[in-house]
Amino acid sequence: MTDLLRRLSMLDGTSGDESAVRDFIISQIDGFCEYKTDPLGNIIVFKQGKNRSAQKLLVDAHTDEVGLIITGITDKGFLKFRTVGGIDTSVLMFRRVRINGKISGVIGGKPVHLTHGDEAKKLPEKSGLYIDIGARDKAEAESAVAPGDRAVIESEFTVMGDKIKSKAIDDRIGCAVLIKLIREDSDYDFYASFSVQEEVGLRGAKTAAYGVDPQSAIVLEATTAADIAGVDFKDSVCRLGEGAAVSFMDNGTVYDREYYKAALNSGIPCQVKRAVAGGNNSGAVHLSREGVRTLAISVPCRYIHSASSVADIRDFDSALSLARFMINGICGGKIK
């Protein structure tokens, strides 16, 4: 698992530019299922099982990650940008970036010794930041990059005991779980989507769910864990090493009550996500067509949407086992 997740996470796939991730996933599932790509770039999968399913089930994970998009070039050759997805300014300052998978740069801003008064006490506005690629002027920068090019914050994949540190754990860890499910023998038929553009509005999941037209869905995600220094247990949302997090409600979805209870009573190590916050592709999937009964299974992740996100390998194993349990229960008609 660790090698699969490393290979997925180190690929660059900012929303709308997921082709490298898509190509790798196809290389991993080819021969284990039927698949196609739709006009938006989703991979739509049919996994044939040993038995026909009692419910048409869709299992989804999104391929894109947060990042940056180049919006302009100054006369001095610095690159202006906007964030793609939710990235806090503190994550950006003076970090190394990679543009189009090959061009190195660093995010710059006014140095602290040139700030004064209230300006020195707060983070700068994102609009005041820029990317420095070492260009001497605008012409040299234009020979390398153009508006619309994507960038990601550079990272290394590191194993720290039971934990891993990397960029793009949201949601390459969900993609890794889904790849594992597709590559193994399945008791029942199910559909899957590796969807695009989750970080900018759940767009791929909306079209994928419309095309598949499922009755039920499982969304595989990473979710914020705040089990860190200075945060009380009640505010930690979920905790690393205690299993996959199961949501009852977030800002986009009220989850199917029976699926939620079945997951918690599965006997598989898992935990309740203790906050009504955030959202994921469930927000689009459960509203598709006439409505879709939906469950989210999330891997807890510290420092999410940063280049140093941290997750626990044991929670990956929990998410895989829980997803398999729910697929068999829903498709086998045991979970009503």
The conformation of residue 120, written as its DSSP 8-state character, comes to: G
Residue 203 makes CB contacts below 8 A (sequence gap 6+) with 40, 196, 197, 284
Hey, what amino acid is at 284?
A
Contact predicate 26/42, CB 8 Å: no
Whether 34 is catalytic: no
Catalytic residue among 18, 140, 154, 198: 198
Contact 213, 288 (CB under 8 A): yes
At 290 the three-state DSSP class reads coil
**Cβ–Cβ < 8 Å for 295, 330:** no
Contact criterion met (CB below 8 Å) for 108 and 130: yes
Q: What angle do CA 180, 182, 185 make, to 5 degrees?
A: 95
CA 8 – CA 82 distance, rounded (Å): 24
Strand pairing category for 190-195 and 57-62: parallel
Tell me which residues are annotated as active site.
198
